[in-house]
Chains A and B, each alone.
Chain A
Amino acid sequence: MTTSTATARAAAPASPRRAGRSTTTGHHAYLFVAPFLVCFVLLFLLPLAYAAYLSLFKDQLVGGTVFVGLDNYTRALQDSLLLHGVLRVGLFFLIQVPVMMLIALVAALAIDSGLLRASRVFRLGLFVPYAVPSVVAALMWGYLYGPDFGPLAQLGDRLGFTAPNLLGDTWMLASLGNIVTWEFAGYNMIILYAALRSVPAERYEAAAVDGAGAWRIAWHLKLPALRPALLLCLIFSVIGSFQLFAEPNLVQRLAPTVVNSSYTPNVYAYSLAFTSQQVNYAAAVSFLLGFVILVVSYVMLFLTSRGSRR
């Protein structure tokens, strides 16, 4: 890292006063943290509070908006459309995330191993999809899957076989999983690779001197060093999976009967708020979704921290 400029100036004589920073008067600190915290309260906490307030009401045809307590939440918990959406993204998470993380991990280890030719090309090439907006990714893959001018269907036509309908009911979730994997595997790879780079090389050198091969070094030294980074990637993937929206929203147009308005919880919340105008209920659904994500994230944290103590 570029701390060299800082350390070069550190040659000044050390002050006899210890712990200079902790005795610094506090109000300077507020100067630094206040702008962020003000925005945080106004744009993060306040919307949540307002939506929490709204979720306790109901807009009725007769009598207007009335206070209904937790009715919206009990309704949501019994809403089979929402439940199916949550189960669907749960299944998506269980399959797509391991596949993506495995690709990211293998790629990061391969690039870090020093065994590759032109490893730079791979590092950047795999990362490129991250710079592609999810809208563009979904459009692209949607066209690629499609029966009209998708290369797969074209190949099938020429060679005389029928390509599977990737936008049909059977394949849809896998097709969406492929889009998300394509978008984010490289991003996760870069995070893992960055973590690998910061492990001191001496540790590997010592192991290599002891005769350990690249595979053993990867398994016994590198993988344990990757724990925090893997956890970070995993938590982001929980969030990404459960709030899936752009991809199904765009693919919906190509396959309106397969991807319905409650396909994922977020698609459902969107259609509740903006198609059927049930704002109060949509607020409750948003909250429950956020809550599910928090719970799953903390369960992952708990499981992994328990695993590390063994």
Chain B
Amino acid sequence: MTTISRGPAASGRTVSHSTASAHQPVRRRPRRPTKSNLLTLAMCALLVYFLFPLFWLTIAATKNTGDLFSTFGLWFGNDFSLFTNIGQTFTHNGGEYTRWMANTLVYAAVSAVGASALATFAGYGFARYTFRGRGPLLGLVLGTIMVPTTALAIPTYLLFSQAGLVNTPWAIILPSLVSPFGLFLMWVYARDAVSDSVLEAARIDGAGELAIFFRVVLRSLAPGFVTVLLFTLVATWNNYFLPLIMLNDPSYYPITVGLSSWSAQAVGGNGSNADLLALVVTGSLLSVLPLIAAFLMLQRYWQSGLSAGAVKE
């Protein structure tokens, strides 16, 4: 990864800085003597566009509902209400936001771990063994990557309502366990990241297939696993359509459906409901932070995992 060059690097005399990237293991870039100010400036404009709504959201979360309407959106209001807002968000209506947050964590964690475990097992199985029906089965699964999840949601709802699973946490978790794209990613990854000779050596040592998988293979599949984990985590965390149709009981809501129901109450609401607007804004901000933190902390993994999936097809 390119290192940030510091110092008075206005002109083209910044050659010495690029040596800082010498220890980077991924790959060395040819030394580029000049940095472009124009390009950096243009990208800054793009960055402003992408961060502007979040900047607004952060500012808005420090305001009470009155200030939201009466003061300018891109700067602080008369009162600094951030902590009041946070407190009220978590306690409003018997603490239902706290409950939604917990629900979301559980749904996302269970789905993500389950989906990436299934995809890792199966991806390794498809990549490393020959067995009867391998080609057609793999083709069948990969062919469904293009089946959109929302086209599947209503059919799943119809089936689950027959099975009595509607309006339970299982209605959210079970459909999230199957990720054809996750399988694709792990299949590609297992083909490349596990070397034949390692497997053979382990077999000669008399290790069982499962033992080989857990002791030898799993470690080299870790970046792929984390990639699938993160992306299923995001998919479940952000899921809206499925929980919206599956759940009636607000105590099962994930944060997306909960925020949506609050915003529906806040829109055009007078009296007590108008105050909800500040809570929708603060709740939105709070719901975004965990995922951003997860992505920043785990970026080393998902970036290398992604490059495997993006290049080979």
Give me the interface of A with B, judged by CB distance under 8 Å: 1-3, 5-7, 9-10, 12-15, 17, 20-22, 24, 26, 28-33, 35-37, 39-40, 43-44, 46-48, 50-51, 54, 103, 107, 110-111, 113-122, 124-137, 139-141, 143-144, 148-151, 154, 182, 185-186, 190-192, 194-195, 197-198, 200-201, 204-205, 208, 228-229, 231-232, 235, 238-239, 242-243, 245-246, 249-250, 253-254, 266, 269-270, 273-274, 279, 282-283, 286-287, 289-290, 293-294, 297-298
Contacts and interface: CB of A to CB of B under 8 A. Distances in A.
A282 B50 CA distance: 36
Interface stretch (B79-87, B88-96, B255-263): B255-263
B131 A30 contact: yes
B106 interface: no
A126 B50 contact: yes
Interface in B202-230: 203-204, 209-210, 213, 216, 219-220, 222-223
A234 B122 CA distance: 26
Given A143-B281, A286-B151, 19 more contacts: A6-B220, A7-B195, A12-B204, A14-B197, A22-B130, A36-B183, A43-B178, A110-B43, A118-B5, A126-B47, A131-B292, A149-B73, A194-B310, A204-B30, A228-B312, A245-B150, A246-B256, A250-B263, A286-B154
Interface residues on B, range: 35 or more
Contacts of B78: none
B168 interface: no
B46 A107 contact: yes
Contact of B308 (A1, A246, A253): A1
A94 to B, nearest CB: 18
B313 A231 contact: yes
A48 B152 CA distance: 7
Contact of B50 (A36, A182, A194): A182
B28 interface: yes
Given A154-B73, A293-B148, A133 B237 contact: yes
Closest 4 CB pairs of A and B: A32-B125, A51-B155, A29-B129, A36-B122
Given A133-B256, A228-B311, A124 B155 contact: no
Contacts of A30: 125, 131
B200 interface: yes
A12 B30 contact: no
A21 B196 contact: yes
B307 A51 contact: no
Interface of B: 1-5, 9, 26-30, 32, 34-37, 39-40, 42-43, 46-47, 49-51, 53-54, 56-57, 60, 68-69, 72-74, 118-119, 121-122, 124-126, 128-132, 134, 137, 141, 144-152, 154-160, 162, 174-175, 177-178, 180, 183, 192-201, 203-204, 209-210, 213, 216, 219-220, 222-223, 234, 237-238, 240-241, 244-245, 255-257, 259-260, 263-264, 267, 280-281, 284, 287-288, 291-292, 294-296, 299, 303-304, 306-313
Contact of A36 (B30, B119, B198, B203): B119
Contacts of A126: 46-47, 50
Nearest to B259: A135
18 contacts: A12-B197, A35-B122, A36-B118, A48-B155, A50-B158, A115-B39, A117-B37, A118-B40, A125-B51, A126-B46, A134-B240, A135-B256, A185-B50, A201-B27, A228-B312, A232-B310, A254-B267, A286-B154
Given A2-B223, A139-B259, A245-B240, A129 B2 contact: no
B281 to A, nearest CB: 8
B306 A194 contact: yes
Nearest to B240: A246
A40 B309 CA distance: 21
